């Protein structure tokens, strides 16, 4: 072989190696990371099976495995870690952690995902509504998650449209009535409230939480909360598509300040009764009754937090979910409950510097909780960062302490905040009591 040809061949081999070696290294790293992700997904699914937490609580994705190309975009879009890749396909591996925001749906490049309510084993009751969002009880309307719409942008649009439908009827009200009571200040409630404020009707907007946002208020920190813009009355088109929870809540606060939208916080609906004259309703709340011609329910499916019903529970230091553990840094905090949410709250709080944590549970052992939460809690207990009191209960809540009953007797426990993780009371029975009809969904596809 001539020297020139030999040099040319060597140069060609060198060039190929120059590109092939980095490509091989990159591909090897990719395979290793993919293997780790699949192993994590398998472990997560096994934990879900072992704890019996295999039924999603609300709106959730169903994945068409034949269409799935393993792009993993849905996994990236789900900060709750509810979706994982197993054997090259996406699966809902942590169903109990799926909160139904639907960010996975637009992320999939091949439309292999659909959002549904309920499963074959566990049906979910969805109210029957007209195209105007009215129930079978004339004058009662439903928009948002309770009516089967968990996506933020669509819930806000539904709330707005439902309110416009109410206004268009021009119902005559008595002097002692409101035109409408809007229950819930999540996306649907904000859309409805702004529409009512825009048209200058006599409305009342109530929210049981101390802040607006509904389910969004309880999303994890920095979670992407929206994936499409929304048109709001009095405001117009929101100028962002994807936005984190904190910025979205901040934006809504700005909207309230700019428009003067009136919201009655810490006001919980307890019951809806028909007005004795047959024209309108009485919304019973923990702050007193409200007479109204129409009711628009824009509440979530998580329901009203289950309370302890003890003296002092009305104080602002009492919360029913942990939103941000950092805000309790350096405080004495008591967590009440024995499920995963209670254990996770206690663990997160114990990781904050200077925070003392007591976990109180009425039963003698934790049941149906994930093994990793048991392990992490045990480590924090052994490190002296969490005190666990089984077979205990809170008797009274005071400003800087609480009366606490344990197997050893009663004691005063220093306390700056108490977080009650005792589940919720679903609104379905209250609505059925007034005559609203429901249909049970067993995994039907959500309308786009």
Between 70 and 231, residue with greater pLDDT: 70
pLDDT value of position 160: 93
Closest CA to 146 of 340, 303, 320: 303
How many angstroms separate the CA atoms of 96 and 60, rounded?
A: 10
- The residues pairing with 142 across neighbouring beta strands, listed in sequence order, are 297
Task: Please report, for residues 67, 146, 154, the alpha-carbon distance to residue 444 in angstroms, rounded to integers and kept in the order given.
Answer: 18, 16, 18
What lies within 8 Å, CB to CB, of 280 at 6+ separation is 139, 173, 174, 177, 274, 291, 292, 293, 294
Give the neighbor-by-neighbor strand order of the sheet with 60-63. 60-63, 113-117, 444-445
pLDDT value of position 59: 79
pLDDT value of position 448: 44
The b-or-e profile of 185-199 (16+ CB within 10 A means b, else e) is: bbbbbbbbbbbbbbe
Task: Please report, for residues 77, 144, 225, 422, the alpha-carbon distance to residue 374 in angstroms, rounded to integers and kept in the order given.
Answer: 28, 36, 30, 18
pLDDT value of position 3: 56
What's the mean pLDDT in 257-261?
A: 91
Instruction: Set out the domains of the chain in order of their start, with CATH numbers.
Output: 3-117 (3.30.70.20), 125-305+426-445 (3.50.50.60), 318-422 (3.50.50.60)
Task: Please report, for residues 120, 212, 268, 317, the alpha-carbon distance to residue 117 in angstroms, rounded to integers and kept in the order given.
Answer: 10, 25, 26, 34
pLDDT higher than threshold 80 for residue 103: no
How many angstroms separate the CA atoms of 271 and 289, rounded?
A: 9
| Residue 431 token pair | 């609505």
pLDDT tens column, 23-57:
666 656 666 777 888 888 888 888 888 777 788 87
pLDDT value of position 351: 93
194 touches 259 (CB < 8 A): yes
What lies within 8 Å, CB to CB, of 105 at 6+ separation is 61, 113, 114, 115, 151, 227
58 touches 145 (CB < 8 A): yes
**What's the whole-number average pLDDT of the chain?**
84
What lies within 8 Å, CB to CB, of 323 at 6+ separation is 217, 218
What lies within 8 Å, CB to CB, of 331 at 6+ separation is 354, 355, 356, 416, 417
What's the mean pLDDT in 323-330?
A: 88
pLDDT tens column, 167-209:
998 778 888 999 999 999 888 899 999 999 999 999 999 998 8
In 238-287, DSSP assigns E strands to 242-244, 269-274, 281-285
| Residue 364 token pair | 């003698």
| Residue 300 token pair | 């979530």
What's the mean pLDDT in 318-330?
A: 87
């Amino acid at each position: 072989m001539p020297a020139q040809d030999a040099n040319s061949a060597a140069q060609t081999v060198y060039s190929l190696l120059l590109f092939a070696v980095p490509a091989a290294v990159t591909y090897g790293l990719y395979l290793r990371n993919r293997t780790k992700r699949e192993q994590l997904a398998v472990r997560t699914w096994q934990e879900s099976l072992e704890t019996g937490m295999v039924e999603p609580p609300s709106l959730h994705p169903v994945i068409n495995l034949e269409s799935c190309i393993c792009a993993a975009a849905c996994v990236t879009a789900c900060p709750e870690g509810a979706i994982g890749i197993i054997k090259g396909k996406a699966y809902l591996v942590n169903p109990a952690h799926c909160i139904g925001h639907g960010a996975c749906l637009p992320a999939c490049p091949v439309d292999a995902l659909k959002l549904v309510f309920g499963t074959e084993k566990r049906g979910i009751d969805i109210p029957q509504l007209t195209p105007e969002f009215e129930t079978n009880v004339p004058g009662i309307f439903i928009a948002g998650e309770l009516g089967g719409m968990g996506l933020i942008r669509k819930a806000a649009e539904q709330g707005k449209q439902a309110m416009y439908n109410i206004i268009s009827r021009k119902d005559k009200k008595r002097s002692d009535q409101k035109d409408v009571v809007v229950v819930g200040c999540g996306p649907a409630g904000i859309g409805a409230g702004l529409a009512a404020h825009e048209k200058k009707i006599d409305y009342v907007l109530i929210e049981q939480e101390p802040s607006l946002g509904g389910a969004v208020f309880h999303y994890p920190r920095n979670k992407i909360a929206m994936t499409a813009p929304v048109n709001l009355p009095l405001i117009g088109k929101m100028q962002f598509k994807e936005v984190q929870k904190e910025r979205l809540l901040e934006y809504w606060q700005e909207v309230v300040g700019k428009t003067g939208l009136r919201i009655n916080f810490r006001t919980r609906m307890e019951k809806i009764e028909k007005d004795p004259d047959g024209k309108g309703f009485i919304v019973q709340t923990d702050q007193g009754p409200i007479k109204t011609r129409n009711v628009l329910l824009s509440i979530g499916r998580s329901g009203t937090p289950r309370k302890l019903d003890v003296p002092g529970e009305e104080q602002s230091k009492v919360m029913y979910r942990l939103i941000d553990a950092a805000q309790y840094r350096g405080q004495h905090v008591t967590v009440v409950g024995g499920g995963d949410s209670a254990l996770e709250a206690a663990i997160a709080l114990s990781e904050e510097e200077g925070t003392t944590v007591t976990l109180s549970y009425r039963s003698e052992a934790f049941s149906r909780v994930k093994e990793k939460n048991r392990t992490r809690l045990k480590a924090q207990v052994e490190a002296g960062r969490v005190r666990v009191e089984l077979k205990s209960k809170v008797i009274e809540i005071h400003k800087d302490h609480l009366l606490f009953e344990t197997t050893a007797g009663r004691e005063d426990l220093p306390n700056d905040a108490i977080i009650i993780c005792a589940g919720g009371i679903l609104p379905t029975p209250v609505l059925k009591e007034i005559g609203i009809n429901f249909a049970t969904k067993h995994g039907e596809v959500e309308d786009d």
